[in-house]
Chain A
């Protein structure tokens, strides 16, 4: 046990404290006041910066009767989650000033940012957990604010429907997980990951263990939108407000994949090779189904839902690799996925403020605002995995991790699937670049914040993969 790193816990503590401050500040200022928003900004940025100060040198700090640990994977995951939270918050700001896509203006920005912070803290908890109780708590903290966020527009029927669907599905998933955990506990007699790991090592063929693994995968399958539990995603992504969709597709997915990483390389590490075929099957089917589903979509957010289902399948491939390589590849990919995805959502947000969020509204974009059309192309090509954009290098690392343990067939299948993916991303780019607008185009107004973020994200997508800065930082932290 190592207690020499108490300062490492400061960001976690801050993040826990800080939604209370943001929401509490509402007591002292007027309804239209910008103060909670400013506090939220300062807080998120401060936490992100603090996280970046933690050196990556195989940290293994453990706190609070040994159920809260901070390691390199945790620190990097925290950075991904904070990045997603910050971008999500900035994306949402405009929706509090005017409505979008026929939906009314949103209210209560303080509570909104507070909810995002709570969801992020849930992600922090998942990556810090050393026992099943904390682990489960983290997953719930990460999920429950999402239900509220999905239904943030109280008067929006679609939003309420989506939230209901999400809660129903989410509760079933939670039940599955709890059930799985209970069997795991029954099998090993302990809630601590280390003890479970030893028990798994000793009795790898016990049917209870495999039953619990099955249930755990079912549960997390819902959250990560794996086949066959992905069906809620398009409806929820479509119904939720756009910024919430973005947060859902990044934070929620990152938290879920972190859950799997902690599980597969933690307590279940001794049987990783036995569950590998299962993971490979899930990954292959999920990315295939996601790609097929996206082919015929005409609404932007439904499209992004299927695209993110496919991305979940791609991420799963890395889980097959050796532990360090899998972790680093997943984090690297999540960084890149977050940046590319938010870039797309920022653009959709701008379109959505003035028009419906469909492919048709993109028409004529290249004539009306070439810079925006270029940014859209950059983000789509990055999601499709075309070099030299970051998405290619992200996927390359995922495939690399998968191929290290010899899963060539799956990697080849995933690589071929990229062609299908490229088709539908091209479909979207075609709308923006080639199709003539049908009638008069409503003007697009970009605020200064939107413009600077879009430029920054585009630059990040172009440079993150090519320059070895990010990958060397992430991979340098681990010893292979």
Chain B
């Protein structure tokens, strides 16, 4: 029963789209309600399944998925010509990321209730995008994984270019093509993995039981890691993110920064590092050096920007850098911190973009120098924005603190000077983060209010639900992180075991 529920997660959004097709565009309210109800149902299902994964902790996982501790494991032959299977399953990490996705999709749909343009198509595209992200976090088969991973491109471009603002075609193309560049690198390495393994399977669990040839790993790992890093906007592939986010409509920014950028980090962890741990050991110290840009310079760039979405985009870049710092630490604590940060930053950036979108809908500008004093008129949204900002700079009580402290501890445990050096820089860069958050909040929310803003109205019930929901998620993770950390620990253990074993091989050989 649970397995069946798990398998319909990705089908429900598509079903909602299929049902909405015959409904005429004049009854748009019914269509939107349908989509939001379907989003709620998915979120409910995933919430229940998260609970199940938590309670199933002691039971042994499906042996076919060894060494991964996968629940709800399903394996059906799919395309026999290329030995691709429909293989899905979830451990703690997957199910939490799925919940994050469902939450962001749900709030995203609520936020875009009044979006301009053909709403019927927009909601259908959000649902298809949701399917693709659910699929990525569910699939254990590499072909299935890649198909879902690349599917995002369709929806992203159409949504940004069709419903965005500003340089929407430019931003959309930049985003889509850069992501396509990343996924083409991934696809090329996937072929390599398949043929080098000689197992005739695309199953991640099965592939992880063998060691890929070292000379193959040495060139395949950087290629694949960079491919995934593109979508996580790791330097030097970060350039799509500010333009893409600023051009995108609110819901798409939320999804792109909140969920899709996590797909890259998840892919690095679950595919690249898990399947090629030896090469990961060799290459990740170099990645740490690259992170200086993300973590240290990202906040500095954010200080200089006046556009709210650019500020948030650079803040995302720096937070994503922290995820990679956690991954590159290659310690259990670091990996746990990285996974926690994936989830925490998803909610955080969702809240950020949601409040920015709501403020933008009212002020019609995202330039912080044009705004001022709107706290008086928009107290609720202002507080929401400040909470997002504080959670972003890692205030204790919010999820960001837990995640970042884990990352920093984990990274410092790594016995390498450069990692420690970068870690110290990263910790110091929180100050820079505080600067731009406080500066933005100060300029936008306080001071003299332009006369034209006298008529602004504060958030309505729909918007309040979104903000309160996201803040609650941040608080829950921040106040009682224990159970989430437990779930993550069990699912990261096999990955870390493999990395730890890899060292032995290298040293011994």
Q: Give chain A's interface residues, CB within 8 Å of chain B.
A: 328, 332, 366-367, 370, 374, 377, 381, 386-388, 392-393, 396-397, 399-400, 403-404, 406, 408, 411-412, 415-416, 418-419, 422-423, 426, 429-430, 433-434, 468, 471-472, 474-476
Which chain B residues border A387 with CB–CB below 8 Å?
146-148, 150-151
Going nearest first, the 3 A-B pairs with the smallest beta carbon separation are A475-B81, A387-B147, A412-B188
Within 8 A of A (CB), among B152-188: 153-154, 157-158, 161-162, 168-169, 173, 176-177, 180-181, 184-185, 187-188
- Distance in angstroms from A335 CB to nearest chain B CB is 13
Judge if B121 is at the interface, Cβ distance under 8 Å.
Answer: yes
Instruction: Name which residue of chain B comes closest to A400, CB basis.
Output: B82
CB of B191 within 8 A of CB of A400, answer yes
CB of A403 within 8 A of CB of B195, answer yes
**10 contacts across the A-B interface (CB closer than 8 A):** A377-B158, A397-B82, A400-B82, A403-B194, A406-B195, A415-B187, A416-B185, A418-B180, A418-B184, A434-B162
Partner among A422, A430, A434 whose Cβ is within 8 Å of the Cβ of B180:
A422
- Knowing A377-B158, A430-B161 touch, does A468 contact B80 (C-beta < 8 A)? yes
CB of A388 within 8 A of CB of B195, answer no
In Å, the complex CA distance between A315 and B211 comes to 33
- Knowing A408-B192, A434-B169 touch, does A386 contact B151 (C-beta < 8 A)? yes
In Å, the complex CA distance between A387 and B139 comes to 15
Which chain B residues border A411 with CB–CB below 8 Å?
188, 191
Q: Which of B121, B147, B151 has the most chain A CB within a 10 Å cutoff?
A: B147
- Distance in angstroms from A346 CB to nearest chain B CB is 20
Judge if B143 is at the interface, Cβ distance under 8 Å.
Answer: yes
CB of B147 within 8 A of CB of A388, answer yes
- Knowing A328-B81, A370-B121, A387-B150 touch, does A419 contact B180 (C-beta < 8 A)? yes
CB of B191 within 8 A of CB of A416, answer no
4 further contact pairs, Cβ within 8 A, besides A387-B150, A468-B80: A374-B121, A429-B157, A430-B161, A433-B158
Partner among A367, A381, A419, A468 whose Cβ is within 8 Å of the Cβ of B177:
A419
CB of B192 within 8 A of CB of A416, answer no
Judge if B78 is at the interface, Cβ distance under 8 Å.
Answer: yes
Judge if B79 is at the interface, Cβ distance under 8 Å.
Answer: yes
Tally of A-B Cβ pairs under 8 angstroms: 95
Which chain A residues border B161 with CB–CB below 8 Å?
430, 433-434
In Å, the complex CA distance between A400 and B184 comes to 14
In Å, the complex CA distance between A403 and B187 comes to 12
Judge if B416 is at the interface, Cβ distance under 8 Å.
Answer: no
CB of A386 within 8 A of CB of B153, answer yes
Which chain B residues border A434 with CB–CB below 8 Å?
161-162, 168-169
CB of B188 within 8 A of CB of A416, answer yes
Judge if B439 is at the interface, Cβ distance under 8 Å.
Answer: no
CB of A366 within 8 A of CB of B162, answer yes
Judge if B118 is at the interface, Cβ distance under 8 Å.
Answer: yes
Instruction: Name which residue of chain B comes closest to A371, CB basis.
Output: B21
- Distance in angstroms from B135 CB to nearest chain A CB is 9
- Distance in angstroms from B232 CB to nearest chain A CB is 18
CB of B173 within 8 A of CB of A472, answer no
Which chain B residues border A418 with CB–CB below 8 Å?
180, 184
Instruction: Name which residue of chain A comes closest to B191, CB basis.
Output: A403
- Distance in angstroms from B113 CB to nearest chain A CB is 20
Interface of A is mostly: helix
In Å, the complex CA distance between A374 and B158 comes to 10
The digit string for B79-120, where 1 denotes a CB below 8 A from any CB of A, is 111100000000000000000000000000000000000100
Within 8 A of A (CB), among B41-92: 78-82
Instruction: Name which residue of chain A comes closest to B148, CB basis.
Output: A387
The digit string for B135-149, where 1 denotes a CB below 8 A from any CB of A, is 000000001001110
CB of B150 within 8 A of CB of A471, answer no
CB of B121 within 8 A of CB of A392, answer no
- Knowing A387-B148, A393-B79, A403-B191 touch, does A422 contact B158 (C-beta < 8 A)? no
CB of B154 within 8 A of CB of A386, answer yes
Partner among A328, A366, A388, A474 whose Cβ is within 8 Å of the Cβ of B118:
A366
In Å, the complex CA distance between A426 and B170 comes to 11
Partner among A386, A403, A404, A472 whose Cβ is within 8 Å of the Cβ of B150:
A386
CB of B176 within 8 A of CB of A422, answer yes
In Å, the complex CA distance between A272 and B150 comes to 34
- Distance in angstroms from B472 CB to nearest chain A CB is 34
Partner among A393, A406, A419, A423 whose Cβ is within 8 Å of the Cβ of B184:
A419
Which chain A residues border B169 with CB–CB below 8 Å?
430, 434
CB of A475 within 8 A of CB of B80, answer yes
CB of B82 within 8 A of CB of A396, answer yes
- Distance in angstroms from B216 CB to nearest chain A CB is 10
Q: Which of A387, A392, A408 has the most chain B CB within a 10 Å cutoff?
A: A387
Instruction: Name which residue of chain B comes closest to A423, CB basis.
Output: B177
Partner among B143, B154, B187 whose Cβ is within 8 Å of the Cβ of A381:
B154
CB of A472 within 8 A of CB of B121, answer no
In Å, the complex CA distance between A332 and B80 comes to 13
Instruction: Name which residue of chain B comes closest to A325, CB basis.
Output: B81
Instruction: Name which residue of chain B comes closest to A404, CB basis.
Output: B195
Which chain A residues border B146 with CB–CB below 8 Å?
387
In Å, the complex CA distance between A367 and B143 comes to 36
Partner among A400, A412, A426 whose Cβ is within 8 Å of the Cβ of B157:
A426
- Distance in angstroms from A423 CB to nearest chain B CB is 6
Instruction: Name which residue of chain A comes closest to B86, CB basis.
Output: A468
Instruction: Name which residue of chain B comes closest to A435, CB basis.
Output: B169
Q: Which of B78, B143, B151, B184 has the most chain A CB within a 10 Å cutoff?
A: B184
In Å, the complex CA distance between A412 and B169 comes to 28
Instruction: Name which residue of chain A comes closest to B78, CB basis.
Output: A468
Which chain B residues border A386 with CB–CB below 8 Å?
150-151, 153-154
CB of A370 within 8 A of CB of B143, answer no
Partner among A396, A416, A472 whose Cβ is within 8 Å of the Cβ of B80:
A472
- Knowing A386-B150, A403-B191, A468-B79 touch, does A426 contact B184 (C-beta < 8 A)? no
CB of B184 within 8 A of CB of A392, answer no
In Å, the complex CA distance between A403 and B168 comes to 38
Which chain A residues border B188 with CB–CB below 8 Å?
408, 411-412, 415-416
Which chain B residues border A433 with CB–CB below 8 Å?
158, 161-162
Partner among A396, A404, A474 whose Cβ is within 8 Å of the Cβ of B143:
A396
In Å, the complex CA distance between A381 and B188 comes to 19
In Å, the complex CA distance between A313 and B161 comes to 30
Q: Which of B154, B173, B181, B192 has the most chain A CB within a 10 Å cutoff?
A: B154
- Distance in angstroms from A397 CB to nearest chain B CB is 7
Which chain B residues border A399 with CB–CB below 8 Å?
187, 191
In Å, the complex CA distance between A366 and B121 comes to 10
Which chain B residues border A406 with CB–CB below 8 Å?
195
Which chain A residues border B79 with CB–CB below 8 Å?
393, 468, 471-472
In Å, the complex CA distance between A472 and B78 comes to 9
In Å, the complex CA distance between A404 and B192 comes to 10
- Distance in angstroms from B128 CB to nearest chain A CB is 9
Q: Which of B82, B118, B153 has the most chain A CB within a 10 Å cutoff?
A: B82
In Å, the complex CA distance between A430 and B162 comes to 9
Which chain A residues border B118 with CB–CB below 8 Å?
366-367, 370
Instruction: Name which residue of chain B comes closest to A407, CB basis.
Output: B191
- Distance in angstroms from B342 CB to nearest chain A CB is 24
CB of B158 within 8 A of CB of A416, answer no
Which chain A residues border B78 with CB–CB below 8 Å?
468
In Å, the complex CA distance between A374 and B121 comes to 9
Which chain A residues border B82 with CB–CB below 8 Å?
396-397, 400
CB of A422 within 8 A of CB of B177, answer yes
- Distance in angstroms from B81 CB to nearest chain A CB is 4
CB of B81 within 8 A of CB of A472, answer yes
In Å, the complex CA distance between A250 and B147 comes to 26
Instruction: Name which residue of chain B comes closest to A471, CB basis.
Output: B81
Instruction: Name which residue of chain A comes closest to B153, CB basis.
Output: A386
In Å, the complex CA distance between A328 and B148 comes to 24
- Knowing A426-B176, A434-B161 touch, does A397 contact B81 (C-beta < 8 A)? yes
Which chain B residues border A416 with CB–CB below 8 Å?
181, 184-185, 188
